[in-house]
Chain A
Amino acid sequence: QVQLVQSGPEVKEPGASVKLSCKVSGYTFTELPIHWVRQAPGKGLEWMGGFDHEDGERFYAQNFQGRVTTTEDTSTETAYMHLSSLTHEDTALYYCVTGVLSIAAKPSFDYWGQGTLITVSS
């Protein structure tokens, strides 16, 4: 059973950066795609970007180009998401996600971390 355990909540000032972590267990890390999805309070789901180990491709949503970077540490089986130049609009719950079920070109998100709340406040 895949488990994703994320780092704890953070409060940041506008203009700051944040780096979240996502510890993966229960599956071979290098066979998993790892993506990041966020949800602002009362809003829908927004894909931010991610990496697929199998094909080595990394993608970012256009809305976050230049502000988001995802990385993976295979030695610790931990994924990271760095988001810079924070504004109040970045206040949201951030999820790391992965999938193993789908045979589509890019998989569904079968497993979700518990989420990390980032609050941007001056």
Chain B
Amino acid sequence: SYVLTQPPSVSVAPGKTARITCGANNIGLKSVHWYQQKPGQAPVLVVYDDSDRPSGIPERFSGSNSGNTATLTIDEVEAGDEADYFCQVWDVDTTSYVFATGTKVTVL
């Protein structure tokens, strides 16, 4: 099976940049989507197709994907960005969607 690996946690000071990685074999060949989930709420799509943002998502959220690592970058982090973040891909070999276990972002 295709496994996505994220760090369990990332801590960042307000106003700084948070980078959340999503690692897997040749993930650069796949389209990666990122979700934000705050406590008690349904997940929200923040980046799709590696680097596109849905309407309403701040430009502070950006994505990249190359080689074996996809990255979600949050610039000028705010207290409201504190949440769990999950990356996701479609694995054509197993014909299944795969989610990583998620990264908890803490704003110091």
Using a CB–CB cutoff of 8 Å, the interface residues on chain A facing chain B are 35, 37, 44-47, 59, 61-62, 95, 99, 101-110, 112-115
A45 close to B42 (CB less than 8 A): no
List, in ascending order, chain B residues with CB within 8 A of A102's CB: 31, 33, 48-49, 52
Q: Are A59 and B95 in contact (CB under 8 A)?
A: yes
- Using Cβ atoms and an 8 Å threshold, which residues of chain A touch B44? 112
Give Cα A76–Cα B98 distance, bound, in whole angstroms.
30
B-side interface size class: 20 to 34
Max chain B Cβ within 10 angstroms of own Cβ: one of A37, A109, A112, A113: A109
Query: What residues of chain B have their CB less than 8 Å away from a CB belonging to chain A?
Result: 1, 31, 33, 35, 37, 42-45, 48-49, 52, 54, 84, 86, 88, 90, 92, 94-102
Hey, which chain B residues are within 8 Å of A95, CB to CB? Answer: 42-43
Known: A46-B99, A47-B96. A108 touches B33 (CB 8 A): yes
6 closest cross-chain pairs (CB), A and B: A104-B31, A106-B90, A108-B33, A108-B48, A47-B97, A112-B42
Cβ contact within 8 Å between B99 and A45: yes
Residues of the B chain whose Cβ atoms lie less than 8 Å from the Cβ of A113: 42
Which of these, B35, B49, B84, B101, contacts A109 with CB under 8 Å?
B35
Please give, as numbers and ranges, the residues of chain A lying within 8 Å of B96 by CB-CB distance: 47, 59, 61-62
Q: A102-B31, A115-B42 known; 15 other A-B pairs, CB under 8 Å? A: A37-B99, A44-B86, A44-B100, A45-B37, A45-B102, A59-B96, A99-B48, A102-B52, A103-B49, A104-B31, A104-B48, A105-B90, A106-B90, A108-B33, A110-B48
> CA–CA, A107 to B43, complex, Å?
15
Q: A110-B45, A110-B48, A112-B42 in contact; A105/B99 too (CB < 8 A)? A: no
